[in-house]
Chains A and B, each alone.
Chain A
Amino acid sequence: MIFHSTIVFFFTFAAIKYFNLFNCMKQIISLLVIAFAISSAIAQEDFSKRKMSLPSVDLKTLNGKTFNTQDMDNNEKPIIICFFATWCKPCMTELKAISDVYDDWQDETGVKIYAISIDDSRSSAKVSPLVKGQNWDYEFLLDENSDFKRAMNVNDIPHTFVLNKNKEIVWQHTSYSPGAEQEYINIVRKLIAEPNK
């Protein structure tokens, strides 16, 4: 797979370079994206049902280490990903609400939560003291330049994803209202009850 994408990539890049095509690169890329989209759709009958797996993006842990999103793991148990920022009030309300029930959730389902901060360098250093001060036990990761946010097509935060045991996205939701966390855990329970879904 890597081999083929490498060929495609280098072929494209070589063509662009060789024919000095920087000027019409926009058109080429547009056509390529559309072509890929159409060919994917044709090749796969169950395209609409296909589950998306995680893109590969480098994030930072709270103590500054690089962490690739594909290394998110929970031993074949469901994962919840919450996008948040320290300046986003509903996000903080959501994380706070989940923290009150997180122990129970983990005992019952073994679910693991990755909380992704999109704080930029104005406030990213604040994330660690803030979340530890609140006693929150999630796996925190920093997405300082919103690369993961873009790759996951998140418009506004809070935005929440539920992943199955194969780390495929099976459910997602934007915004937060008090009590919405019940919906998250219900999805997780369903995933555990029907492991092949």
Chain B
Amino acid sequence: MKKKFILLGLFISCGTLLIAQNNFMKNSRVSGNFQLDAQYYIPDAAMGANTIRDKIRANAFANINYTNGGFSAGLRYEFYQFPLIDFEKIHYIGHGIPHYYIGYNHEYFEVTVGSFYEQFGNGLIYRSYENRNLGYDNATYGIRVKGKPYKGIVITGIWGMQRNLFVKEGQIRGIDGDISFSEMFSKLSDNSVTLGIGGSFLSKFEVDNDPDYNLPENVAAFATRLNFGYKDFNLNAEYAYKFNDPLVKLNDMIYKPGEALVVTASYAMKGLGIYLTGLRTDNMDFRTVRTAEANNNIINYIPTLTREHTYALPAMFPYASQAQGQIGFQAQVNYQIKKRSKIGGKYGTDIMVNYSQIHGIKQNPVEEAVNAGGDMTGTDGYTSPFFGIGKLLFQDFNIEISRKFNSTWKLGLGYVFLLYNQDVIEGHIGQPNVLSHTAIADLTCQINNKHALRLELQHLYSKQNKGIWSSRNWLYGQLEYSISPKWFISVLDRWNYGNIDKTKRIHYYSVSGSFVYGTTKITLSFGKQYEGILCVGGVCRAVPASYGAGLSIVSSF
């Protein structure tokens, strides 16, 4: 009864305010978006597609946002009660309104109550983030306050719980400060200097009910960062430290503190860009719940320093960040051979070279117990010298050249070498590293202003197997016809012709068509999907292994 009374009060007050103020109404806006992905599953034992009793599954969500000047409120309804099989696999099952917020954004401050997404620096100690297509959403529920007391200074405070799938868990609180000197002092930016520093602190709380271990209930982490730029050169560094934090499944209950360092340098001028980044992480898994595993209850974000491949075959071997221990670097050069030059041609020729190499860290085991309380259980686990390099986990060399010959023809050529440690990255214990060479050709023929045909060919050469469904050589071909901007038709086939098991030399074919009208896109598809990233009609997203027909509707208003 009390609740109803309050609600009524709220309504009347807001309503009166709204109606009384025509000015207020003028600025009010309602917007939102909607997405439905449905799939009809056909079992196919030959490709490992299991029988699914309820054959039709779908993921759906809709956002509604209301804004009025600095004021905003919104919610998202999610329906994942009978989700696509890959979402079922990660237990992303449920429905309701898990996302809702009210916020006010002023020149000097910003307040949000409800659920929100935020990150401190690179996210090494805190990032709440969503990616709907991956089923990843660790929004923070609670309150966020941002203060902008002076030009160039932003202070952010957060406090609340964490979303994990469809429940709220844990307790986190944190603060971040960011100072941009080049925004404060115009003298710096006048001399093409950018300089900024930042620092953040985050702490989590979880009750200790463990009979054996004396566990820290409050675990803190902090990070500091620096950004320096001069003319075309830029340097960015962030260091994070996490206090003792034994986790059941992710660090074998060790008390060793964690740390992470990311340094990125880049140089960019017209026609040339150079990028270099290094990373070291050690025991940096940070979760709200000690028993968490997989992608659940993640508080922070450890970026992966490898290129995200968009071509289907090299994308089959993606590196997954190893927060518990990795050291590596990535370098990339982008160069454009000048337009209207002899070698560059009329439109110029773009070249990109990229290399990355990641190792595990060296670990020297420690035996003696460090935890003085309780039963003296628990050790630091290991010590690790900062530059101690362990097993090779991943290596990637790739080069891409693309050139537009005239208004009709465009060609892209690529080569990718990958070394993939499936033992560590995917947990295929004892399996050898996969070494692969991929050649790519991507040809576009712009028939006229509206009609275009694109042909993509890829060949992957390898002598190793990754599980039973990917073995040795692959061939990939895709033909896409588009009538801009409304129609797309695509036919593709991905064939594991080199599989040592002849019965598994499967053609993963797929036929799809899309219709786009403004912000609405409807896609129909039929075929076999090998898990990975699928790009059709200009949009990319992750897709699971399955056989059947799909319908996807995406719209915004």
Interface residues of A (CB under 8 A from B): 1-2, 4-9, 11-13, 15-16, 19, 21, 24-33, 35-37, 39-41, 43-44, 50, 52-53, 55-56, 58, 63-66, 86-90, 93-94, 96, 100, 120-123, 125-126, 128-135, 144-147, 150-151, 153-159, 171-180, 182-183
Report if A172-B518 is in contact (Cβ < 8 Å); known contacts: A30-B97, A33-B73, A132-B270.
yes
Q: Do the beta carbons of A56 and B29 come within 8 Å of each other?
A: no
Complex formed: what's the CA distance from A43 to B404 in Å?
Answer: 53
A170 to chain B, nearest CB (A): 11
- Quick one: which of A44, A125, A133 contacts B272, CB cutoff 8 A? A133
Q: A32-B10, A32-B14, A100-B404 are in contact. Are A2 and B182 (CB under 8 A)?
A: no
Q: What separation, in Å, do the CA atoms of A158 and B485 have in the docked complex? A: 13
Cβ contact of A128, chosen from B105, B268, B450, cutoff 8 A: B268
Beyond A13-B113, A120-B301, is A43–B25 a contact (Cβ under 8 Å)? yes
Stretch at the interface among B80-88, B122-130, B208-216, B374-382: B122-130
Q: A90-B539, A177-B538 are in contact. Are A65 and B268 (CB under 8 A)?
A: no
User: What's the nearest-Cβ distance from chain A to residue B123, in Å?
Assistant: 5
- The answer to whether A39 and B113 have CB atoms under 8 Å apart is no
| B 395-410 binary contact with A (CB < 8 Å = 1; else 0) | 0000000101000000
The reply to whether A175 and B452 contact each other, CB–CB distance below 8 Å, is: no
Instruction: Tell me, in angstroms, the Cα distance from A153 to B520 when the chains sit together.
Output: 12
Most chain-A CB neighbours within 10 Å: which of B129, B488, B556? B556
Residue of A nearest to B192 (CB): A63
Specify which of A44, A147, A153 is in contact with B33 (CB 8 Å cutoff).
Answer: A153
Once bound together, how far apart are the Cα atoms of A157 and B27, in whole Å? 28
Residues of A within 8 A of B311 (CB): 89
> Would A121 and B268 count as touching, CB distance under 8 A?
no
Given A31-B7, A40-B30, CB of A135 within 8 Å of CB of B2: no
Question: Can you list 18 A-B pairs, Cβ within 8 angstroms, ordered by A?
Answer: A7-B17, A35-B11, A36-B30, A56-B70, A64-B234, A65-B183, A66-B183, A123-B308, A125-B266, A126-B332, A130-B275, A132-B272, A134-B273, A153-B556, A174-B516, A175-B514, A175-B537, A177-B484
In angstroms, Cα B266 to Cα A33, docked, is 44
Which chain B positions have C-beta within 8 A of A173?
Answer: 485, 516, 518-519
What distance in Å separates the Cβ of A137 from its nearest Cβ neighbour in chain B?
9
In the complex, what's the smallest C-beta–C-beta distance from A188 to chain B, in angstroms?
15
Q: In the bound complex, do residue A19 and residue B7 qualify as a contact, i.e. CB atoms below 8 Å apart?
A: no
Q: Which residues of A contact B105 (CB under 8 A)?
A: 56
Check if B73 sits within 8 Å of A129, measured CB to CB.
no
B267 on interface, CB distance cutoff 8 Å: yes
**Is B196 within 8 A of A64, CB to CB?**
yes
In the complex with contacts A29-B73, A31-B11, A178-B452 CB distance below 8 A: yes
Which residues of the partner chain B approach A50 to less than 8 Å between Cβ atoms?
Answer: 29
Checking B13, B23, B111, B264 against A125 with a beta-carbon cut-off of 8 angstroms, the contacting residue is B264
Assuming the contacts A35-B11, A147-B117, A179-B484, asked whether A135 and B270 have C-beta atoms less than 8 A apart, the reply is yes
Task: Give complex CA distance A153, B33 in Å.
Answer: 6
> Cβ of B3 < 8 Å from any Cβ of A?
yes
Count class of interface residues, chain B:
35 or more
Contact assessment for B484 and A183 in the assembled complex, using a CB-CB cutoff below 8 Å: yes
9 A-B pairs closest in CB distance:
A133-B334, A129-B273, A133-B273, A5-B71, A90-B538, A177-B482, A178-B452, A132-B268, A179-B484
Contact of B274 among A4, A24, A37, A129 (CB under 8 A): A129
Most buried by B among A7, A94, A177: A177
- Quote the shortest CB–CB distance from B526 to chain A (angstroms): 20
Which A residues touch B450, using CB under 8 A?
179, 182
Check B383 for interface membership: any CB of A closer than 8 A. no
Considering the chains assembled together, what is the distance between the CA atoms of A120 and B119 in angstroms? 10
Kindly state whether residue B464 has any CB partner on chain A within 8 Å.
no
Minimum CB–CB distance from A85 to chain B (whole Å) comes to: 9
B541 within 8 A of A: yes
Which of B119, B274, B519 is within 8 Å of A174, CB to CB?
B519
CA distance A87 to B100 in the complex (A): 30
A25 touches which one: B70, B114, B123 (CB < 8 A)?
B114
List, in ascending order, chain B residues with CB within 8 A of A24's CB.
3
The answer to the question of B341 belonging to the interface, with a C-beta cut-off of 8 Å to chain A, is: no
Q: Are A178 and B541 in contact (CB under 8 A)?
A: no
**Other-chain residue from A13, A25, A53 in contact with B111 (beta carbon distance below 8 A):** A13
Asked whether any CB of chain A lies closer than 8 Å to the CB of B446, the reply is yes
CB < 8 Å: which of B10, B24, B122, B277 contacts A5? B24
Which of B11, B97, B267 sits near A129, CB closer than 8 Å?
B267
Asked if A125 and B275 make an inter-chain contact with CB atoms under 8 angstroms apart, the answer reads yes
Q: Is the CB of B271 within 8 A of A121?
A: no
Which residue of chain B lies nearest to A11 when distances are taken between CB atoms in the complex? B13
In this complex, what residue of A is CB-closest to B101?
A29
Binary A-proximity of B205-237 (CB < 8 A = 1, otherwise 0): 000000000000000000000010100101010
Is there an interface contact between B154 and A66, defined as CB atoms closer than 8 Å?
yes
Contact A4 B270 (CB under 8 A): no
Given contacts A28-B10, A40-B30, A174-B516, contact A1 B236 (CB under 8 A): no
Given the known inter-chain contacts A29-B100, A32-B73, A153-B31, please indicate yes or no for A8 contacting B521, CB distance below 8 A. Answer: no
B267-287 vs A: 1/0 string, CB under 8 Å? 111111111010000000000
CB pair A132–B273 under 8 Å, yes or no, is: yes
Stretch of B58-66, B465-473, B497-505 contacting A (4+ beta carbons < 8 Å): B58-66
Q: Which residues in chain B, 309-352, are within 8 Å of chain A measured between CB atoms?
A: 310-311, 332-336, 339, 347-348, 350, 352
Q: Which B-chain residue is minimally distant from A25 (CB atoms)?
A: B114
For A134, the chain B residues whose CB sits under 8 A away are 273, 334, 336, 350
| A121 contact set on B, CB distance < 8 A | 119, 121-123, 301, 303
Additional A-B contact list (8), CB under 8 Å, known A43-B18, A121-B119? A29-B75, A66-B183, A151-B72, A154-B33, A174-B518, A175-B537, A178-B452, A179-B485
CB pair A44 B25 closer than 8 Å: yes
B294 within 8 A of A: no
Residue from the list A19, A39, A52 in contact with B6, Cβ < 8 A: A19
Contacts of B75 in A (CB 8 A): 26, 29-30, 33
B19 interface residue per 8 A CB criterion: yes
